[in-house]
Structure 1
Amino acid sequence: MNIVAPADPELSSDDRFAGERLKLSPFHPRQAELNIRDAWSAWNGYKFADYYYEATYEYFCIRNTCGTYDICPMQKFLVEGEDALAMLDRMVTRDLTKLRVNRITYCCWCDDTGRMIDDGTIFRLDDNRYMLTCGSPCLAWLAKSALGFDKVTITEHTEQLAGLSLQGPTSFSTLKNMGVGDAVAELKPFGFTRVPFVGTELMISRTGFTGDLGYELWIDAEYALPLWDALYEAGEDYGIQPYGEAATNMARLEAGFIMPYMEFNEAPKTINFEHDQTPLELNLGWLVDFKKPHFNGRRALLEQKQKGTKQLLVKLDIEGNKPAEEAILYDSKGCRNQIGYVTSAMWSPSVKANIALAMIDTKALTGEIWAEIYHYKELRPYRKVAKCKVQDKPFWMPPRARQTPPGEF
């Protein structure tokens, strides 16, 4: 086993606090020009756009034209060597032996008690070469998972590889106008390809976090600005705009995708018992392959499957138009017996519905579900009790999201 961690930068005596400052994405010079509200937050130590102009406007760019979302802060790890597949297959709950070269899979990994560590994607770059991406730093867990595997090298690749998500119905037309349409036309969801670009290689994957047609572009960090410029020139007539975390959260909720620190807590970071979750509780049972002889948490998850989960994450369609943010759920309109809580909620502009993700006691799913919603009107607080209906399918997942080749605009 060989772990290659990022080198610590050398600090001069005049720059003692450099390590405390937020890092800048390779795309930051272009993003700073467009962030007219100067609305920044932080993600994994990077300065990161919450929004550029207005969240709802950026959301409609995703749904009606196309937008770019900076995924440089996403953690990226290269896992290479003869033991790479065996090591990763033991770590994650999904069967990686089925993953072909130039394909990607969504997966999750757990501790020995079956509690979620994180979720992410794994790219099979070659026979013995993989890339894992996830939302939070994971090098320490990868190092623990590699114990006993001598022929594997794990390298953190976050700062070396720039990533830009391009999402929306005109995303394919933009890529075609940029000159890579032939390469991505037959690309199916969770596939990727490589194309030459200004003297280097650009990797394009048909992936995203919006539930719509979209791609993610991966390139060496030093070529980030040429990529941005070429993409924005190609997308000028297709309504291309940058969007931030606020619009991303709206789109991913419509698609029914989970978000760390909203739908689940990472197990190593919780203190209270069962304040973290298992994949089965998060309705991700389809990611857990019990046909595999062994993986982290298998015994605990199998026992939970046999007994049934105490709670389950579900999608809710809620009456009215007041978002049920942080709402408590009850089994009757009288709000006496609490049965769950809302994790994410919004009024969906595209679906024209009041939607939410919620963690609910499994035994209560066959009965009535009511949300106690508090909202403000002209600075005055109001309380409303609204009936909820469980929905099985994503709130938003248009056919174009999977259509191959995609339609042009």
Structure 2
Amino acid sequence: MNTEDRFAGERLRESPFHPRQSALNLREAWSSWNGYKFADYYYDAEYEYFCIRNTCGTYDITPMQKYEISGPDAEAMLNRMVTRDVSKLGINRVTYVCWCTDEGRMIDDGTIFRLADDRFMLTCGSPSVAWLRKSVLGFDQMTVRDVTDETAALSLQGPTSCTVLQQMGLEDIATLKPFGIAHFPFHGGSLMVSRTGFTGDLGYELWVTPELALTLWDVLYAAGENYGIHPYGETATNMARLEAGFIMPDMEFNEALKTVHFEHDHTPYELSLGWLVDFKKPHFNGRKALLAEKQQGPHYTLVKLDIEGNKVADGSWLYSDKACRKKIGYVTSAMWSPSAKANIALAMIETPRLNGSVWAEIYYEKELRYYEKVARCEIKDQPFWAPARARQTPPPPF
């Protein structure tokens, strides 16, 4: 870490879990997320990745933006703002959503937690206060409150995660279905657990007040001592989410309110999120533009690629022909997948070219010399990592 980064880190807020995380961050590998000091990795990113896939790990999601939306108009407001039908969401359930400008360009994605008939929590990666203020116009019987700093949250992911929570005393946790929410008494307060995550594996997210954060950490790590629990950072998260085929802002998409150049942002259909758009519900932001795009087809489509060889296609151009190299798209994220034993990527490809050949132009370094190769790509329909345990209720014992 250079001097500038070190002093920048001293100005960042610290998560309620920071005292425990700091002791374990042997590399002092910190960055920032929404004004919080945040771990890139703790000691070795690949070790942390294998904890997610083989045992379990914790990821601090306190910096994620959280908004409490409550009141008689809360459901109607959210239904106008997001593309999915919120009225179908049951109490103590979570759903994945996105929201768009009137031009159908995606502002952000996130999750909505329904905590009561008239109370929701919206979570997202970037601050959304300005857009929420615009979205509440015309809805007088509701309030929107930023509860980011009032809520400490840990993501617990991996095959041993359910067993660890049972060891912690949450005996009924095995009956919680994917995208479900459960509430437990916890040391004079309450603990909310959602069966959600960003790794494509079995996992949960734990939500408490900041005052109970260190207690939660200590109890959780005591329960997980024999089950391989370990913290993981942003680098391991990015590896796991890519295998699961999940999109990441600033990698797969640019947020529409932050772009400068025309159409350097994206639509849900371009990101293969058309299943999030429900035209059967009443009017919502971007409906007209999205309906036209559904009928005409998007310019680009996000796809999953299996690329021959083992040279990672990071930042590669994609071509329809190996020889003439006519550009048809570009890679957004790429890695060698240790679990799938494959060279994988997410990529944007011109929609009319999806049924043709795809080749990736890859540049790589070997012993201080740079080489080029053009590798054949195969478009895949399914995620590269999607174990059955992620969907099973109860999860299989580990």
Q: TM-score, normalised by structure 2?
A: 0.97
In 1, the alpha carbon distance for the partners of 2:25 and 2:303 equals: 35
Corresponding residue for residue 304 of structure 1: 293
In 2, the alpha carbon distance for the partners of 1:95 and 1:333 equals: 44
Shift of 1:376: 0.6
1:101 is matched by which residue type in structure 2? I
Corresponding residue for residue 346 of structure 2: 357
In 1, the alpha carbon distance for the partners of 2:143 and 2:350 equals: 42
From 39, 51, 65, the equivalent of 1:61 is 51
CA contact (8 A) 1:315 1:357 kept: yes
CA RMSD of aligned residues (A): 1.2
Aligned: 1:287 with 2:276? yes
Deviations 1:75-99 (CA, angstroms, capped at 9, x unpaired): 0000000000000000000001100
In 2, the alpha carbon distance for the partners of 1:293 and 1:133 equals: 23
CA contact (8 A) 2:191 2:208 kept: yes
In 1, the alpha carbon distance for the partners of 2:335 and 2:83 equals: 31
SS at match of 2:266: coil
In 2, the alpha carbon distance for the partners of 1:334 and 1:271 equals: 34
Corresponding residue for residue 96 of structure 1: 86
Shift of 1:378: 1.1
Shift of 1:407: 1.5
Shift of 1:181: 2.5
From 143, 164, 170, the equivalent of 1:180 is 170
Corresponding residue for residue 245 of structure 1: 234
Shift of 1:18: 11
1:63 is matched by which residue type in structure 2? R
Corresponding residue for residue 266 of structure 2: 277
Corresponding residue for residue 304 of structure 2: 315
Deviations 1:318-348 (CA, angstroms, capped at 9, x unpaired): 0000110000000011252100000000000
SS at match of 1:136: coil
Corresponding residue for residue 24 of structure 1: 14
Corresponding residue for residue 81 of structure 1: 71
1:208 is matched by which residue type in structure 2? G
Shift of 1:359: 0.2
1:293 is matched by which residue type in structure 2? P
CA contact (8 A) 1:87 1:145 kept: yes
In 2, the alpha carbon distance for the partners of 1:212 and 1:367 equals: 32
In 2, the alpha carbon distance for the partners of 1:357 and 1:43 equals: 23
1:173 is matched by which residue type in structure 2? T
Shift of 1:20: 8.4
Corresponding residue for residue 44 of structure 1: 34
Runs of 4+ in 1 over 4 A off after TM superposition: 17-20
SS at match of 1:51: coil
Deviations 1:186-223 (CA, angstroms, capped at 9, x unpaired): 11100011000000000000000000000000000111
Shift of 1:19: 12
SS at match of 2:32: strand
From 192, 196, 214, the equivalent of 2:181 is 192
Aligned: 1:397 with 2:395? no
In 2, the alpha carbon distance for the partners of 1:132 and 1:398 equals: 27
In 2, the alpha carbon distance for the partners of 1:28 and 1:190 equals: 27
Deviations 1:80-136 (CA, angstroms, capped at 9, x unpaired): 000000000000000011000000000000000000000000000001000000000
Aligned: 1:264 with 2:257? no
- How many residues align? The count is 392
**Consecutive unaligned residues in structure 2, runs of 5 or more:** 1-6
Deviations 1:253-311 (CA, angstroms, capped at 9, x unpaired): 00000000000000010000110000010000000001112100000000011111111
Corresponding residue for residue 203 of structure 2: 214
Shift of 1:21: 1.2
In 2, the alpha carbon distance for the partners of 1:113 and 1:270 equals: 14
In 2, the alpha carbon distance for the partners of 1:220 and 1:293 equals: 36
Deviations 1:231-259 (CA, angstroms, capped at 9, x unpaired): 00000000000000000000000000000
Corresponding residue for residue 108 of structure 2: 118
Corresponding residue for residue 227 of structure 1: 216
In 1, the alpha carbon distance for the partners of 2:132 and 2:109 equals: 13
In 1, the alpha carbon distance for the partners of 2:143 and 2:369 equals: 58
Aligned: 1:130 with 2:123? no
In 2, the alpha carbon distance for the partners of 1:342 and 1:19 equals: 31
CA contact (8 A) 1:178 1:231 kept: yes
In 2, the alpha carbon distance for the partners of 1:91 and 1:132 equals: 12
**Consecutive unaligned residues in structure 1, runs of 5 or more:** 1-16
From 60, 68, 82, the equivalent of 1:70 is 60
Q: TM-score, normalised by structure 1?
A: 0.95
CA contact (8 A) 1:333 1:370 kept: yes
From 337, 347, 356, the equivalent of 2:336 is 347
The alignment-based identity, stated in percent, is 71
CA contact (8 A) 1:335 1:370 kept: no
Deviations 1:364-396 (CA, angstroms, capped at 9, x unpaired): 111100000011111111101000000001110
